Structure 1
Amino acid sequence: MKFFFASTVIAFAASVASGSHAGDDLSALKGPYLGQTPPGMTAEPFAPGLVNTEKWGDAGSFSLDMNKFYVNRWRHTRDAPEPEKVTYERVGDGWQKVVMPEGWRRPFPSPDGKALHYGVQYKERTPDGWSDMKSLGPAFEAIDIMGLSASAKGTLVFDEWTRDGNGTLRYSRFVDGKREDPQPLPNEINTGTWNAHPYIAPDESYIMWDGERESGFGSNDLYISFRRPDGSWGEAINMGDKVNTDAEEGGPHITPDGKYLFFNRMVPSAGGNGEPQSDLYWIDAQVIKDLQPE
């Protein structure tokens, strides 16, 4: 059951959209990371009752300056109410909830903040703000993209939603001022029955994603491939029991300050009844360094 990760195709916004309005005063939450106590080497739910809810599936990410946290929510069942679109914005040393207008979307930003990606579309920063929406091109429009991320060099990595769950992870480089057509990542990465939601490190030293393989902990797990000295990608490494369980894990990404790994996990619904729901977890990014081959 992979329904919850499809919703993460909408992620990250550069600023609060027009028409939003202030909501709950969360000034009692002091300090960075939405006032939460950072985790160590054990993955913990992020902001229970604030970001993670009992009603909906929940995901989220920080803005590049770490002063906003954008929440993405969706319904696990038809009986659930329509989810609220919210961000949390830092005000002084505290935080404030901001309810977003209908139709608001969150893009995937480039690490330098010069582009905002919305699947096959994007905006570029201009002296006057943001450009009109542009298309990555016909070769991208033929792919049903769920998750996408960009490196500092402009390389894009992204997935493909298919009904059989066997979509291909692809990349596209920005070379000599031009965007290359998508190319499949190698078999070291594109193996198994489910590969989705790739994240490429800003310096392109590794790629993370969620995949399903016979050697995994059960259902889809988080995997990582490190760049070899010759520029090729190393064999996929299961990220281990610090993040993976017999439940579904997916949607990995690193906070813009490089300190924490965020990901989603399907957990039993409140009271143990009904469909499992997706909660957002975080763990110290040291988990990645510990996996890097010597």
Structure 2
Amino acid sequence: MKKVIFLTILLSTPGKLIGQTAKSTFWTSANAYFGQTPPSELPQPFAPAMLVDSGIVMGSVVFSKNGREFYYGYAQSWTSRVNSGIKKRVFDGHRWSQPILIAETLNSPTLSPDENILYAGGRASQVWRALKTNGDWHTPVVWLGKPYGLYNFKPTNSGVFYVGSNGHQGSKADFTTYDICTLTMSKTDTVIQSLGIPVNTNGFEGDFYIAPDESYLILSANETPTFDSELYISFRKADKTWTNPKSLGPAINDGLAHRFGQTVTPDNKYLIYTKGTSEKDCKLYWIRFDRLLKRLKQTNYAPYLKKSLTNQVVRVGKDFVLTIPADAFVDDDTQERLTYRLEMADSTPLPSWLHLDSVKKTVSGKPTTTGTYLLQLRVTDSAGETAIGTFTLAVNP
């Protein structure tokens, strides 16, 4: 029998096959992003004319991977669920649809990696879930509730979820105890774990975006009691710890404002986030992000205090030597050399008998009088960035 061999020849242009589908090129088409002119590295309002139907459009938004579906939360105020919910718009091949209601009173939509599950936040810090069958979404139902908070629930490619939560500390209702955490689920157990220092601080951490591959997260940092914040970025290191967060820069962090709901488009080009000083001026903004991300990987990391310094008790007239723990301060610039300085916390002169050896990293002396001294150890990197650790030195008789 003769064998018939068919050859398929694909003509190509530089960097692209003619055989590529429209799905893969929609992001560069005139209809992508609702037909808007993409921004430069200065933030611009995102689709204001397309989203005016919904009152305040705020919080997490998400595009489908092909760019043809857009999910967003809407509300009438920051604090009420009345007239709030989740809508979507779909590009049908010719135009973007009018808003389509997905669910009322839910917020912060996000999609599973295969885009067949939509997760959302609801009352009592519960996670709701809707399943997609044959292209249609089922009615969302409560999927996950815990004794601890589950705020801003985010899936990743690995199956690990990220969430803002008090975990096993404080109260579910006390947002000052919330950290950015991982949530690992199996058939028999659910484990929640704070990312710890330096991502989390003593205040509220819960507004964030996690890259699908978990390579970086963008967090709302320096939160004030009224939840004004700035956007910072932290990169995951090879040992799965996180770098000290650094600012996304003055173009984004241009004064006091609520900044939250940050997300990066699936083509990795643009950052979209919510910004407002009040409900009246709250809106979505977007900015070119891929080039900024590349630069931020190369800029300086400020040092930080990883482990609190232990208070010390010594005796008057007795020599002492205290060793500064090697892992007390961390600088993610691995070749960075830090300088150390010991100071009184109230800026008064140090006692003449108190000395710092910055090479051996020891504090030593022979006290001449009793008393309690509040000291601070200041470390500085080559860029002038500093971190401070405080401790008391009690001199007893």
- TM-score, normalised with respect to structure 2: 0.54
Measure how far apart 1:68 and its partner are: 1.6
Aligned pair 1:149/2:154, yes or no?
yes
Alignment-derived partner of residue 289 in structure 2:
285
How many residue pairs match? The answer is 252
Sort the Cα spacing of 1:99 and 1:129 in 2 relative to 1 into closer, same or farther, 3 A.
closer
Sort the Cα spacing of 1:229 and 1:52 in 2 relative to 1 into closer, same or farther, 3 A.
farther
Alignment-derived partner of residue 202 in structure 1:
212
Measure how far apart 1:103 and its partner are: 3.2
Q: Which has the larger radius of gyration?
A: 2
Superposed CA offset, 1:1-44 (max 9, x none)? xxxxxxxxxxxxxxxxxxxxxxxxxxxx9511111111111111
**Matched-pair contact (CA < 8 Å) for 1:57–1:277:** no
Alignment-derived partner of residue 222 in structure 1:
231
Aligned pair 1:241/2:250, yes or no?
yes
**Matched-pair contact (CA < 8 Å) for 2:54–2:74:** no
Superposed CA offset, 1:37-69 (max 9, x none)? 111111111012322579434453323331122
Alignment-derived partner of residue 25 in structure 1:
none
**Matched-pair contact (CA < 8 Å) for 2:220–2:232:** yes
Counterparts of 2:85 and 2:263 in 1: how far apart (Å)? 23
Measure how far apart 1:104 and its partner are: 7.6
Aligned pair 1:184/2:194, yes or no?
yes
Alignment-derived partner of residue 51 in structure 2:
51
Alignment-derived partner of residue 71 in structure 2:
70
Measure how far apart 1:162 and its partner are: 3.9
Superposed CA offset, 1:105-142 (max 9, x none)? 57421223254323434456789988995744xxx512
Measure how far apart 1:222 and its partner are: 1.1
- TM-score, normalised with respect to structure 1: 0.71
Counterparts of 1:239 and 1:288 in 2: how far apart (Å)? 9
Secondary structure of the structure 2 residue equivalent to 1:154 = coil
Alignment-derived partner of residue 111 in structure 2:
109
Sort the Cα spacing of 1:74 and 1:125 in 2 relative to 1 into closer, same or farther, 3 A.
closer
Alignment-derived partner of residue 168 in structure 1:
179
Secondary structure of the structure 1 residue equivalent to 2:34 = helix
Structure 1 residues not aligned, in runs of 5+: 1-28, 269-274
Deviates more, 1:85-94 or 1:52-61: 52-61
Give the CA RMSD over aligned residues. 3.6
**Matched-pair contact (CA < 8 Å) for 2:154–2:210:** yes
Q: Percent identity?
A: 25
Counterparts of 2:205 and 2:197 in 1: how far apart (Å)? 11
Counterparts of 1:180 and 1:203 in 2: how far apart (Å)? 21
**Which structure has the higher relative contact order (CA within 8 Å, separation 6+)?**
1
Counterparts of 2:135 and 2:100 in 1: how far apart (Å)? 26
Secondary structure of the structure 1 residue equivalent to 2:282 = strand
